Structure 1
Amino acid sequence: MKPTITEQEAKAKVEAYIEAAVGALPGTAERKPFTQNRSECTDPTDNGPHGRFEISATYEVTGLEPARFAEYFDAIVEWMSAHDFKVLTDSRPKDQYVFVRNNADAFDMSIQANDLGKFYIGATSPCVWPNGTPEPQALEADQPEQPVAAPPEPEPEPSRKPRRAPVDDEDFAQTNWTDGGTSY
């Protein structure tokens, strides 16, 4: 099992990515915390052991003109492309949603806006060990109790999908966004 960055490093990188992306917006843009989460990794396409976590944060961006949301999306997507992010989902113009993944470190980011004039930007880390190294119980679970026969031929790895399903704009606009979510 490979070491990862720590949860604290993942949290710092999530915040840095969001701050830098918001920097592509006009000076009137301000970040307002919306959610911060620490979620156990359960992604079956990850093929990794239990005991790792994803760190994520979403901010509502205030101080923007809803009539210019398309322009703001373009500015952030341009910043993302210049910083080695690959667009995995771009639902524009039907929906105001873009989902990207960084080619170098597998951090995800998303931008979403709605007809209520709300604009959100978020980032999620890949699966990380809390302290950067596998926990002892994960190491024990990785060790077979007795010798086993040669492993079967490996199946091709499934293509990796976004860790979180895209939110369609219809559900997004009907969601009560006044609940702030959980914190670290």
Structure 2
Amino acid sequence: MKPTITEHEAKDRVERYIEGALSALPGTAERKPFTQHRSECTDPTDDGPQGRYEISATYEVTGLEAARFGEYFDAIVQWWSAHDFAVLTDSRPKDQYVFVRNKTDAFDMTVQANDLGKFYVGATSPCVWPNGTPEPQALEATEPDQPVAAPPEPEPVRKPRRAPVDDEDFAQTNWTDGGTSF
């Protein structure tokens, strides 16, 4: 298992990438926090161990003209191209959404807008160890001392059978008492 940057470094880099992308927008643009997450990598794409986290943040960008969103998208995509990001998804013109990944450090970024005039920029880190190095329990989980073997299958236990019912007496039972007499 390889060391990573720390969570704190990942959070700082997420913020720097967002600030950089926003620098491509007009001076009237202001960012407003929308979401910030620390999510455990429970199903990481690199098949790595648990105990690592993705750090992400998304900002709503205000102070922009909705009629010029196309220009703003182009400006951010141009900034990404100049800073080693590769476009993985560009849903324009059908949807106002672009998804990129940095070729060097695997950070992801998105820009998206909607018909309500909302404009968002976000970034997500790859899976990182909280302190930059694998936690001891993660090392133990991936390096067992002895081979793990499945326990043997237990022999099936036979359940006792119920005694046979004497159906011959059924027709001779007096049912006038509601069937409570034996």
Please, what TM-score do these two structures have when normalized by structure 2?
0.79
Distance 1:60 1:46 in 2: 30
**More displaced, 40-49 or 87-96?**
40-49
Q: Which residue of 2 aligns with 1:28?
A: 28
1:62 aligns with 2:62: yes
Report the secondary structure of 1:100's partner residue: strand
Aligned length: 148
Deviation at residue 142 of structure 1 after TM alignment:
1.2
Report the secondary structure of 2:45's partner residue: helix
Q: Percent identity?
A: 84
1:47-96: per-residue Cα shift (whole Å, max 9, x none)?
10000000000000000000000000000000001100000000000000
Q: Which residue of 2 aligns with 1:136?
A: 136
Q: Which residue of 2 aligns with 1:112?
A: 112
Distance 1:49 1:116 in 2: 41
Higher-Rg structure is 2
Unaligned runs of 5+ in 2: 149-182
Q: Which residue of 2 aligns with 1:88?
A: 88
| Within-5 A mapping of 1:170-181 | none
Alpha-carbon RMSD across the aligned residues, in angstroms, is 1.0
Is 2:44–2:127's contact at 8 Å kept on the other side of the alignment? Answer: no
Q: Which residue of 2 aligns with 1:46?
A: 46
Distance 2:26 2:92 in 1: 21
- List structure 1 runs of 4+ shifted beyond 6 angstroms: none
AA paired with 1:21? Answer: A
Distance 1:55 1:147 in 2: 35
1:16 aligns with 2:16: yes
Q: Which of 1 and 2 has higher RCO (CA within 8 Å, sep 6+)?
A: 1
Distance 1:7 1:146 in 2: 33
Please, what TM-score do these two structures have when normalized by structure 1?
0.79
Distance 1:31 1:112 in 2: 14
1:101-127: per-residue Cα shift (whole Å, max 9, x none)?
000000000000000000000000000
Unaligned runs of 5+ in 1: 149-184
Deviation at residue 44 of structure 1 after TM alignment:
4.4
